[in-house]
Structure 1
Amino acid sequence: MKSTLILVLFPLFALGVFGDEVSVNEGGSATLQTGVEIQSSDLIEWRLNGKLIFRISGSEVFDNTGGAFGGRLGVDKLNGDLKITNIETRDAGEYKLQIRSTKGSSSKTFSVSVVPVPGPSPHDSSLSSGAIAGIVIGVLAALAAAVGGICYGYGKKGQIL
Structure 2
Amino acid sequence: MYGVYGADVGTVKPVSVMKGDSVTLHTGVTELQRDDKIEWMNENRDIIAQIENNITLIHEDRLELDHKTGSLTIRKIAENRLYELHIRGDQLTSKTFNVTVHGGVKTVSVKEGDPVNLHTDVIAIKGFDVILWKTEGDLVAEINQVTNRFSLYDSGDVRFKGRLDLDRQSGDLTISDAETTDSGVYHLHMSSSTHTLQRNISVTVKNSGNSGAVSGISGASVALVVWAVTVFLLQEV
TM over 0.5: yes
Residue identity in the other structure for 1:43 = V
**Other structure's SS at 2:161 match:** coil
**In structure 1, which of residues 46, 49, 53 is the aligned counterpart of residue 136 of structure 2?**
49
Q: CA deviation at 1:41?
A: 5.6
RMSD of aligned alpha carbons: 2.2
Alignment-mate amino acid for residue 173 of structure 2:
L
1:21 offset after TM fit, Å? 0.7
Deviations 1:77-123 (A, max 9, x none): 111111111000111110011001112110111100010012349xx
Larger Rg: 1
* Inter-partner Cα distance in structure 1 for 2:166 and 2:177: 15
After superposition, the Cα gap between the structure-2 partners of 1:38 and 1:97, relative to the gap in structure 1 and judged at 3 Å, is: same
- Please report the TM-score for the alignment, with normalisation by the length of structure 2: 0.42
**Contact 1:40-1:57 at 8 Å conserved across structures:** no
If each structure's helix is expressed as a fraction of its own residues, which one has the higher value?
Answer: 1
In structure 1, runs of 5+ residues without a counterpart are: 1-14, 122-161
**2-side partners of 1:42 and 1:75: how far apart?**
16
Partner of 2:120: 34
- Give the alignment's TM-score, normalised by structure 1: 0.60
Aligned to 1:86: 177
Confirm or deny that 1:21 pairs with 2:116: no
CA drift of 1:40 comes to 7.0
Letter matched to residue 133 of structure 2: W
| 1:134 matched residue in structure 2 | none
Contact 1:72 1:86 in 2 (8 A): yes
Structure with the higher fraction of residues in strand conformation? 2
Matched, 1:107 2:194: no
Q: Which has the higher contact order (CA 8 A, sep 6+)?
A: 1
* Aligned-partner Cα distance in 2 for 1:82–1:44: 11
Runs of 4+ in structure 1 over 3 Å off = none
Correspondences of 1:61-80 after superposition (within 5 Å):
61-65=150-154, 66-68=156-158, 69-80=160-171
